[in-house]
Amino acid sequence: MVVLDRRTVDHDGRTYPLTLRCNPRARRLILRIDSGGEGAVVTLPRGVAIAEALAFAHAKRDWIARRLDAVPARVPFADGARVALMGRCATIRHEGSGRGAVRLAGDEICVRGAPARLSALVTGWLKCEARRAILARVDTACRRLGKPAGRVALRDPRTRWGSCAANGNLSFSWRLIMAPAFVLDYVVAHEVAHLAVANHGAGFWRIVESLGVDVGAARDWLGVHGRGLHRFG
């Protein structure tokens, strides 16, 4: 999709960000809240004028305001902040300056380093934890399926939790480390299953389920809570 313009929508004295995108495959104007909960997005089909999209968003301004006002506030990685680690709540504790180091002690993520680096240290540590957890699950799932994976990368996409390239390379969102373990199990199984079947047909879902994951519960959790993972950090 191509970003055409960035505008705003006003409602009851408040201003909300609005992004206009063009998707040639779209058949109608589509309004949604972006994955980070930071603004609204209108998707335009080919041939639809920007003025028409703006009028559409203006007519839906009450819906936009209600949805964005309901988005939880961002949670920076700071001293005292509470974040989830594999579904378990943990509190960030800054233990003073010195050489940067992060460790898990009970239900606390203890961080030593310059205050200005605290967020980066926590983010880096979470990414390392995510890589460790994901690689272990990829290895187990690949052995059960009998299919080797290519390179495994961690990224921070807005709209996908994982992907499988045609060459067998896998990619996952590092933010999955903040989801419950059964959600991480499912996302890994989903992408590993694509090593055998590229589509989402019945055969694909049989493979996913054969890997011992709770598809329904994981998809339900992501549907309700997934977008909220982007408000951390």
Q: Are residues 225 and 178 in the same domain?
A: yes
Q: Are residues 50 and 28 in the same domain?
A: yes
Q: Are residues 89 and 63 in the same domain?
A: no
User: pLDDT digits over 29-66, tens only?
Assistant: 999 988 777 899 999 999 999 999 999 999 999 999 99
User: pLDDT digits over 68-78, tens only?
Assistant: 988 878 899 99
Q: Are residues 119 and 225 in the same domain?
A: yes
Which residue has better confidence, 50 or 158? 50
Torsional class of 182: left (φ above 0), alpha (ψ -120 to 50), beta (otherwise): alpha
Q: How many domains does one find in the chain?
A: 2
With a cut of 80, say whether residue 1 has pLDDT above it: no
Chain centroid to Cα 51, Å, comes to: 31
Q: Which domain holds residue 112?
A: 82-231
Q: What angle do CA 105, 107, 109 make, to 5 degrees?
A: 60
Tell me the C-alpha distance between 19 and 3, whole Å: 7
What's residue 18's pLDDT?
A: 95
CB within 8 Å of 223: residues ≥ 6 apart: none
Q: Are residues 32 and 97 in the same domain?
A: no
Q: Are residues 28 and 102 in the same domain?
A: no
Tell me the C-alpha distance between 230 and 71, whole Å: 11
Q: Are residues 93 and 173 in the same domain?
A: yes
Where among 19, 34, 69 does a domain terminate?
Answer: 69
Q: Are residues 48 and 132 in the same domain?
A: no
